[in-house]
Structure 1
Amino acid sequence: MSTLVVIPARYASTRYPGKPLVALTGATGEAKSLIQRSWEAASQVAGVDRVVVATDDDRIRDAAEAFGAEVVMTSDTCRNGTERCAEALEVLGGDFDMVVNLQGDAPLTPHWFVEDLLTGLQGADWAGMATPVLRCDGRALNGFLEDRRAGRVGGTTAVFGEAGRALYFSKEVIPYTGKTFADDDATPVFHHVGVYAYRPDALKAYGSWEETQLEKLEGLEQLRFLAHGQPVLCVEVEAKGRQFWELNNPEDVPRIEAMMAEMGMA
């Protein structure tokens, strides 16, 4: 099975312009850009044939090429990372069995998240796309709730039914629990991890579907699959002691750096 990993990155983020080039300092004091740390995370995934950064911005291209990444230039009309991945696949010729979208704001993504995701999609022939979900402990859930109280958009949560078939994704915290959890408690809330694996036909079809109201309201590209009646597989992954957080807002930089220091990540 041939696998392509695409890291879509754009400079003109509404919430955090220039985010891919923001420096993150690791446990050793070395500062690396967000896009470099995301590329390094992607490069650790076993069984991957090619890793590329897909962007429409010369600044991101230059930074990525400087640390050794392969870059695919895509148009500035891509509305989200999935559309950018679809365009990158077209540019590269499309000769892959699976395409992974490892978004450029998730540098803490462990390699086994992606490996388990690919294994899950291989075993679910009914799904054209799969995405990982991570059961929140109390610490993570309380972080989500704190963000919402402060008016910030934090992580995304997911609910799913039998066989991991996705029901909905939201930037609100779902399902509602009404309970207080200690940091180490397991909760019924699942954090949607910002990674996707696609079968190439599903990825190519995505761009031909109309953008939907739910996708626009939530700002979540995967909702286009659900709104068009296309099943999405949620694959539960294990943290194995690793913390996970995405860089969505400037306030997330010290949070992620603290996690990297705690985990001893260089």
Structure 2
Amino acid sequence: MPTCIIADPEVPEPGHRNYTCPLCFISLRRQASCSHSWQAHDPVVATDDDKIAECCRGFGADVVMTSESCRNGTERCNEALQKLGKQYDVVVNIQGDEPLIEPEIIDGIVKALQAAPDAVFSTAVTSLKPEDAFDPNRVKCAVDNHGYAIYFSRGLIPFNKSGKVNPQFPYLLHLGIQSFDSKFLKIYPELPPTPLQMEEDLEQLKVLENGYKMKVIKVDHESHGVDVPDDVDKTERYMREHNLH
């Protein structure tokens, strides 16, 4: 199953442009360690930012320039796929705000999509830390008994009547990685924005609101998402402590 991996770096806040690109490059380098249970081809960075592109090329990454009209990473992946002009069965999107995703997770979501012919999308979740329960930058996920996504939210889900975190409940944190059936990826930009998607500002919700299925795998992963500038120091410290380069 030929697979294309696309890293989608977000433009960081002013004064922090030097952070995002190297983290994105780390994502691409780490994916090279994936198992050979599937064929990965042409790992690229997709961006509409010239400074990010220049920085990524300086680190040896292949870059596909996309238009500023892309409303989210999924649309950016589709445009990059069209520009590559090659046929792939699966496209993996590694978001620039999750640079330390383990290669095994990439392998896992691709296998999950392969094993679920009724799904067009797959992603990963891990246990939510209590301190992240009410952080809108940490997206939460609810999953059904068959491993399919029910909902994603920036708020805590489920939310109980007490309004407090239940330490006994296994809340789930969505990780910034997903894989798509390439045929569906071409359809996604043609679907109009949906109410829940716009309210939460979460592109995955447009998939669910249109009745498509999304497979979810649970992994043991200590998330180090880079959502705000303060997260950069935490991530770099973790990398030094674990000898990650």
Q: Given the two structures, how large is their TM-score scaled by the length of structure 1?
A: 0.83
Instruction: Give the aligned partner of residue 148 of structure 2.
Output: 165
Candidates 139, 156, 169, aligned match of 1:156: 139
What is the CA-CA distance between 1:218 and the residue it aligns to? 1.3
**Segments ≥4 residues shifted beyond 6 Å:** none
Instruction: Give the aligned partner of residue 131 of structure 2.
Output: 143
SS at match of 1:90: helix
Instruction: Give the aligned partner of residue 227 of structure 1.
Output: 209
Instruction: Give the aligned partner of residue 33 of structure 1.
Output: 22
- Distance 1:5-1:75 versus aligned 2 partners, 3 A rule: same
The CA deviation string for residues 182-209 of structure 1, in whole angstroms up to 9 with x for no partner, is xxxx851111111110111110000100
Instruction: Give ranges in structure 1 of 5+ residues lacking alignment.
Output: 24-31
For 2:192 and 2:17, the matched residues in 1 are separated by 28
For 1:228 and 1:248, the matched residues in 2 are separated by 28
Instruction: Give the aligned partner of residue 55 of structure 2.
Output: 63
Candidates 119, 135, 140, aligned match of 1:127: 119
What is the CA-CA distance between 1:10 and the residue it aligns to? 4.1
Matched residues, number: 239
- Distance 1:188-1:98 versus aligned 2 partners, 3 A rule: same
For 1:157 and 1:40, the matched residues in 2 are separated by 27
For 1:219 and 1:37, the matched residues in 2 are separated by 26
Instruction: Give the aligned partner of residue 205 of structure 1.
Output: 187
Q: Given the two structures, how large is their TM-score scaled by the length of structure 2?
A: 0.89
Contact kept, 8 Å, 2:8 with 2:24, in 1: the verdict is no
- 1:116 equivalenced with 2:108 (yes/no): yes
SS at match of 1:188: coil
Contact kept, 8 Å, 2:141 with 2:149, in 1: the verdict is yes
Computed over aligned residues only, the root mean square deviation of the Cα atoms, in angstroms, reads 2.1
For 1:205 and 1:19, the matched residues in 2 are separated by 34
- Distance 1:18-1:129 versus aligned 2 partners, 3 A rule: farther
Instruction: Give ranges in structure 2 of 5+ residues lacking alignment.
Output: none
Q: Identity of counterpart residues, as a percentage?
A: 33
